[in-house]
Chain A
Amino acid sequence: MMTSRDLILARIRQRRGTTSSPPDNTPLAGTSGQNLHPIDATERIKLFQRQALAMGCQLRPCSSRDMVLPTLQALLNDLPGHSRVAWPQLRRWLESTSLGCRFGSAHSTDQIGITGCAGAIAETGSLILTTGPDTPDSVSLLPEIHIALVCHDDIVVDLEAAWKHLAQRADWPPRGVTLVSGPSRTADIEQQVVIGAHGPAQVIILLYPG
């Protein structure tokens, strides 16, 4: 009996009038760039900041890696919400402090989620988040406030550079790759933009030099 798969493939082959030929995407590969001119690291960081702000992120630049924890501490003191959860990946870095956060998957009662990132994209102001045992997606998704720690060295210039960066990972492709650009939003009622839909309503980026 012919399965639906066979049927659909047969129809496609009949319509295109040839038998199978190996797919080849070489003629177009590498031509998808927006032609962002190669820019140096300083420019790249500036562009990322500009774009992230445009997407509605808040930025907290830190002068050095050592300043991240005090900045985070001060930030948490100012923010409402005591139920905090962070990526297990950050355990070593954050555990020694008195931030009072849990490490693991987020619960629906968590108010603040703290993550790192697998990279960040200057062109779009996006954080690149990948799923894994140490980097559960829910931390950046369920709480109202998402705090991300982003190192200058993590920032790549554009989408193409992001794909290249990701492809070098040992676990490529991970189960989930999410480009997060600013807080969640909706404009479904009268096209009025409202920040904070089902995901976080605030995305705060702590940016630090490598």
Chain B
Amino acid sequence: MPESAQFKKNAQRQLNNTGLQANLQRFGQRFAKARAIAIAELEDFSGLRQRATAWRDLTLANLDDWLIRFETHAQRMGTQVHWATTAAEVNQIVLEIAHKNKVRKVIKSKSMVSEETGLNAALQQSGIDTIETDLGEYILQLAGEPPSHLVAPALHKNVEEVADLFQEHHHTPRQTDIPTLCREARHQLRPHFLSADMGISGGNFLVADTGALVLLTNEGNARLVTTLPRVHVAITGIEKVIPSLDALAPLLRLLPRSATGQSITNDVSLLTGPRRPGDLEGPEEHHVILVDGGRSELLGSELQPALRCIRCGACMNHCPVYQNIGGHAYGWVYPGPIGAVLTPAYLGLEHARDLPQAATLCGACEVVCPVSIPLPDLLRVWRQRSVSRGLRPWPERVLLRLWLWCAMHPLLYRWIHRRLSWLLRQLANDSGQITYFPGLTDWTQGRNLKAPDQPPFHAQWAQRHRS
């Protein structure tokens, strides 16, 4: 059973993990505040957001056509386009390409889809050395942990933990100065960049009109991964296609600003095909793998807006639940509000039952999402499906039916409120506080409940009117 099925337990564990809590505290509102400043600099954020949303919707409405258009243009430029229905198929395609090209070493820049498929393990199992090059992903590879954030994967680690990992794996003296650690990573990884046979990247966007793959990075690693090795394989979801560079502009203005508050990432690469005649460098083979992995299921459903996601991470940066438990509690690749929507879709609701419940529906995510994904509504859709598929625990189901029945019968409702009011007063201590309530321990474990000190409003009102 995937970790995502154990949300409540995971969350409890993370709340009591003092190391993680300190790291989350440090992270705090940092990205959120940087975003606010960067967004305020825009002349017309809401107009820009509307256009970005419209562009994403445009391709999603005719996704098949746009994918074919991308494929045609990409192939014309010499890119080999592959289609994969499942995670397993992705890995199989990558392994085939690797074997055909006698690949012994792979360098990777960040790819969330490859996290979905467990690609690193598959490559290692076939004896192919695989090295992550995004600093955060590299740290996690050394630690043997999954990412906990879309943009800052190693958010849950502090400098001391990184220092330990580097000392252990690099056999170098322990350093705790952050710039020194970054330099150390550069020195350690440079030889791998130069000796790798294959580079694997994700893809932020696919431009249908030109057949280009668009990559956004800050570290420069994606450029190295896509320039130096003989073979470049990009793995990306089918929903990432956009019509043209016209569509790219608003998305480029929004993605880095929403993510980290940068006006643009340091590198934006548009890659079209393999090396050309006369070129001194560049991969001899360029592959793009288009991955379904559950995405097509969302099309045409109430959940379709989730496919607009451009993976900026703003929703989790602003989510009070995420901020308190971190990304690992969600138990799969995508954490936070968008993770709570995508995980049940890609793994099956029965493997992620509690994720749609993991929100107060406070709406902070929806307000900041650069492509206007109504995340609270989408979480509610999953809650509806949980109810209609009978996936909620029976006490909850019984209570809901009971509540509805009473609420439909006002006289009964009045009577129950009077009894409840009385009962609450009985349960209260001398200062009117309830500190334990059978069946409501999730509330009373951490909060008191102040009992009413009068009969219900309607009871009093009725009495006044009678007298």
* Chain B binds chain A: yes
Question: Which one, A29-37, A59-67, A68-76, A91-99, is touching chain B?
Answer: A29-37
Decide if B84 is an interface residue (CB 8 Å cutoff).
yes
Question: Which one, B270-278, B363-371, B407-415, B438-446, is touching chain A?
Answer: B270-278
- Beyond A124-B264, A188-B136, is A137–B182 a contact (Cβ under 8 Å)? no
* CA distance in complex: A63, B69 (Å): 47
Tally of A interface residues using CB under 8 Å: 73
Decide if A116 is an interface residue (CB 8 Å cutoff).
no
Decide if B400 is an interface residue (CB 8 Å cutoff).
no
- Beyond A15-B301, A108-B190, A189-B182, is A160–B249 a contact (Cβ under 8 Å)? yes
Q: B220 touches which one: A33, A191, A199 (CB < 8 A)?
A: A199
Name B260's closest neighbour in chain A (CB-CB): A187
A165 CB to closest chain B CB (Å) equals 11
* CA distance in complex: A28, B56 (Å): 11
Decide if A53 is an interface residue (CB 8 Å cutoff).
no
* A163 and B245 contacting across the interface, CB-CB below 8 Å: yes
* CA distance in complex: A12, B237 (Å): 13
Decide if A41 is an interface residue (CB 8 Å cutoff).
no
Name A141's closest neighbour in chain B (CB-CB): B223
* CA distance in complex: A193, B280 (Å): 33
Residues of the A chain whose Cβ atoms lie less than 8 Å from the Cβ of B155: 191
* B219 and A184 contacting across the interface, CB-CB below 8 Å: yes
B72 CB to closest chain A CB (Å) equals 11
Decide if B77 is an interface residue (CB 8 Å cutoff).
yes
* B65 and A11 contacting across the interface, CB-CB below 8 Å: no
* B219 and A176 contacting across the interface, CB-CB below 8 Å: no
Contact with A along B215-248 (1 / 0, CB 8 A): 0001111011011100000000010000111111
Name A203's closest neighbour in chain B (CB-CB): B266
| CB within 8 Å of B: which A7-49 residues | 7-9, 11-13, 15-17, 20-23, 25, 27-35
B93 CB to closest chain A CB (Å) equals 9
* A8 and B194 contacting across the interface, CB-CB below 8 Å: no
Residues of the A chain whose Cβ atoms lie less than 8 Å from the Cβ of B228: 138
Residues of the B chain whose Cβ atoms lie less than 8 Å from the Cβ of A163: 245-246, 248-249
Question: Which one, B3-11, B40-48, B113-121, B322-330, is touching chain A?
Answer: B40-48
* B246 and A32 contacting across the interface, CB-CB below 8 Å: yes
* A133 and B135 contacting across the interface, CB-CB below 8 Å: no
A90 CB to closest chain B CB (Å) equals 14
* CA distance in complex: A163, B244 (Å): 10
| CB within 8 Å of B: which A132-165 residues | 132-133, 136-138, 141-142, 158-160, 163
* A178 and B269 contacting across the interface, CB-CB below 8 Å: yes
* B296 and A8 contacting across the interface, CB-CB below 8 Å: yes
- Beyond A15-B297, A191-B152, is A25–B26 a contact (Cβ under 8 Å)? no
Residues of the A chain whose Cβ atoms lie less than 8 Å from the Cβ of B221: 197-199
* CA distance in complex: A27, B59 (Å): 12
* CA distance in complex: A124, B66 (Å): 29
Name A108's closest neighbour in chain B (CB-CB): B194
* B267 and A199 contacting across the interface, CB-CB below 8 Å: yes
* B152 and A7 contacting across the interface, CB-CB below 8 Å: no
Q: A179 touches which one: B54, B83, B208, B267 (CB < 8 A)?
A: B267
Decide if A190 is an interface residue (CB 8 Å cutoff).
yes
| CB within 8 Å of B: which A61-117 residues | 104-105, 108
Decide if A183 is an interface residue (CB 8 Å cutoff).
yes
* A12 and B162 contacting across the interface, CB-CB below 8 Å: no
- Beyond A12-B64, A196-B183, A197-B186, is A191–B30 a contact (Cβ under 8 Å)? yes
* A175 and B296 contacting across the interface, CB-CB below 8 Å: no
* A28 and B54 contacting across the interface, CB-CB below 8 Å: yes
* B212 and A173 contacting across the interface, CB-CB below 8 Å: yes
* B182 and A186 contacting across the interface, CB-CB below 8 Å: yes
* A177 and B269 contacting across the interface, CB-CB below 8 Å: yes
* A25 and B253 contacting across the interface, CB-CB below 8 Å: no
Decide if B347 is an interface residue (CB 8 Å cutoff).
no
* B266 and A35 contacting across the interface, CB-CB below 8 Å: no
* B220 and A159 contacting across the interface, CB-CB below 8 Å: no
Decide if B133 is an interface residue (CB 8 Å cutoff).
yes
Residues of the B chain whose Cβ atoms lie less than 8 Å from the Cβ of A194: 178-179, 182
A196 CB to closest chain B CB (Å) equals 7
Residues of the A chain whose Cβ atoms lie less than 8 Å from the Cβ of B301: 15
* CA distance in complex: A82, B299 (Å): 57
Residues of the A chain whose Cβ atoms lie less than 8 Å from the Cβ of B61: 16
* CA distance in complex: A200, B264 (Å): 17
Decide if A4 is an interface residue (CB 8 Å cutoff).
yes
Residues of the A chain whose Cβ atoms lie less than 8 Å from the Cβ of B271: 175-176
Q: B296 touches which one: A5, A12, A174 (CB < 8 A)?
A: A12
Additional A-B contact list (12), CB under 8 Å, known A133-B279, A138-B227, A176-B282: A4-B85, A4-B292, A16-B61, A20-B64, A28-B55, A124-B263, A176-B270, A176-B271, A179-B264, A194-B178, A196-B186, A198-B133
- What residues make up the interface of A, taking CB atoms closer than 8 Å to B? 3-5, 7-9, 11-13, 15-17, 20-23, 25, 27-35, 51, 54-55, 104-105, 108, 124-126, 131-133, 136-138, 141-142, 158-160, 163, 173-192, 194, 196-200
